[in-house]
């Protein structure tokens, strides 16, 4: 029997949660490479607007982005991290995915 005590309301299998994770990680890695992060963050904000996400759910997703952003920065500072050129390509892919998410 599994207990959900202590688990955030935004579940792992929630597509918006997955998009928030991707957004945060990508923005964090971009930040570590001194690349622009606003385009990917704006694409996620636009996705939340299209999905009409407001209030508590929106705040939860923003927190997921912030937490994932910190992990993205930390990951980029580790040996063997993606090259900044690859991160730049990842930013473009993430923006495309967010803009075309249904």
- For position 2, what pLDDT does the model report? 37
Sequence spans of domains, the chain: 15-99
- Asked if residue 91 lies in contact with residue 40, where contact means CB atoms within 8 angstroms, the answer is yes
Structure confidence by residue, pLDDT tens digits, 26-64 = 999 999 999 999 999 999 999 999 999 999 999 999 999
Structure confidence by residue, pLDDT tens digits, 8-19 = 444 556 999 999
Structure confidence by residue, pLDDT tens digits, 74-90 = 999 999 999 999 999 99
- Residue for token digits 């001194």? 34
- For position 13, what pLDDT does the model report? 63
pLDDT at 5 over 60: no
Structure confidence by residue, pLDDT tens digits, 55-69 = 999 999 999 999 999
Cα angle value 32/26/93 (rounded, 5°): 130
Higher-scoring residue by pLDDT: 3, 54: 54
Compute the distance between CA of residue 8 and CA of residue 6 in angstroms, rounded to an integer: 6
pLDDT at 1 over 80: no
- For position 102, what pLDDT does the model report? 82
């Amino acid at each position: 029997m599994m207990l959900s005590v202590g688990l955030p309301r935004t579940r792992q299998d929630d597509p918006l949660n997955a998009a928030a994770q991707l957004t945060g990680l990508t923005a964090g890695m971009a930040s570590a490479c001194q690349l622009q992060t606003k385009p990917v963050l704006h694409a996620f904000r636009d996705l939340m607007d299209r999905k009409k996400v407001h209030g508590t759910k929106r705040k939860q997703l923003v927190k997921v982005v912030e937490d994932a952003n910190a992990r993205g920065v930390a990951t980029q500072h580790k040996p063997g991290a993606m090259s900044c050129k690859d991160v730049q390509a990842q930013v473009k892919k993430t923006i495309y995915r967010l803009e075309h998410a249904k």
